[in-house]
Structure 1
């Protein structure tokens, strides 16, 4: 059985390697496992956080680029790990 864990996903809307549809399916699966709400809340530019009934939120960062890592995501990742420390 897969245990809920806080998670973050960074995706490029125009990623030619990992199709947007595949990424959305995986994100929805993680959100279901984590018991996340269907309605997200603004977290940062390009990022939405989905609170969780199991206290394992999911952050979805979506940028308009491709399979490259956006440097703007650094601050979102730092914020995520500061707010979700390992017990």
Structure 2
């Protein structure tokens, strides 16, 4: 049987970030809640947790306002949800 690919998940909320690892079939291997503080501290904590599990991300993982953020006006802004 082939080894399943490890997937990282992140649920970003206002008071906490929930990080998890698992497989595409829905199996959750690990789960951690990180209390949100400043954007920089929170993103660093999330990145460290995911990196410790062997999870990497495509694209940028920096906090809005960080010096290396993309020069895109909408970067870091969540569009409104339909009602």
Do both proteins adopt the same fold according to a TM-score greater than 0.5, normalized to the shorter chain? no
Structure ID, larger Rg? 2
More helix by share: 1
